Amino acid sequence: MKKIIFIGTPEFSVRPLVSLFNNEDIDVGLVITGEDKIRSRNNFEPTPVKQKALELGINVYETNNLNSMESLKIIEDINPDYIVVIAFGQIIGKKLLETYENRIINVHSSLLPKYRGAAPMQWAILNKDEKAGVCAMLIERKMDTGDILDCREINLTPDTDISELHDKLSELSSELIVDTVLHYDERFANRIQQDDTKATYSQKINKEMGHISFDEKAEDIKAKIMAFSVWPSTYVNYEDKKMKIHKINIIEKYTNNELGEVFKVDKDGIFVNCKDKCIVIKEIQMPGRKKVDIKTFLNGNTIKENVILS
């Protein structure tokens, strides 16, 4: 029986936690997660990992400082064989790394050394990669640089959005981490050192990155919509309002209208030329309104032709 401590916070970490808990050869002795967040006055929201751990009857320790003396003492009392870290968002300090050297396993949602950093799934979509994946790795002082124990990968298509990729990689992580814990000695003996010369870094996503410019190529615009469909969403400016764009089709250009100019609006969409092709906007969302398809939106609303979406 392998005893572990599981450390994680968001929804991405829930499937791996459940898979570890359900394996009869693994004992999840403790779950460590972030503290509840204040959503409104006297309204606290637990992390997804905490919610699931309590459902499963696992002891939970909440902390916003994993490296405090209290946290270290609680971990020491459990005396785990391994510590599993998946999407926790806090730095693992020197003391913890030294005490559990080569026994802290992290799952990172990219095919390392590609996309070290904060937003690897979004950047895999933005860069129109053909594959994405997850790697089990050892944690060391530098971010996402540890030796790789094992990896899993999936194929991507131009229609893979961030929600689909998130769920697939979370499921893939659950398979990977169970296998890694159960066969750790073998995985450790065959670990692979990352080649830093091939490393790339995934910049943190911000709201401004959701802006669409029609001097971009059509496939780049679509990739941005797929990558940012959950947050921050993609948008253009229409009559001093932010119009979110949720779905497009791409067709060949057949007019010479200015880039970003709305030259046709009907039940099939809003037609706008971009750098290389024509974008047909199929689903939009105006401020304070729900996401709708164009046919529904045009029942009682209008989109003016010959205006520039900027």
Residue 191 and residue 138 in contact, taking contact as beta carbons nearer than 8 Å: yes
Is beta strand 82-86 parallel, antiparallel or unpaired with respect to 131-138?
unpaired
Distance CA 75, CA 62 (A): 12
| 204-235: burial string, b at 16+ Cβ within 10 Å, e else | ebeeebbebebebebebbbbbbbbbbeeebbb
Binding residues: 110-113
Q: Which of 282, 310, 295, 293 minimizes the C-alpha distance to 222?
A: 282
Give residue 102's region: left, alpha or beta (phi > 0; psi -120 to 50): left
AA letter at 124? A
AA letter at 146? G
Binding residues for (6S)-5,6,7,8-tetrahydrofolate: 110-113
Residue 129 and residue 219 in contact, taking contact as beta carbons nearer than 8 Å: no
Q: Which of 258, 162, 264, 276 minimizes the C-alpha distance to 219?
A: 276
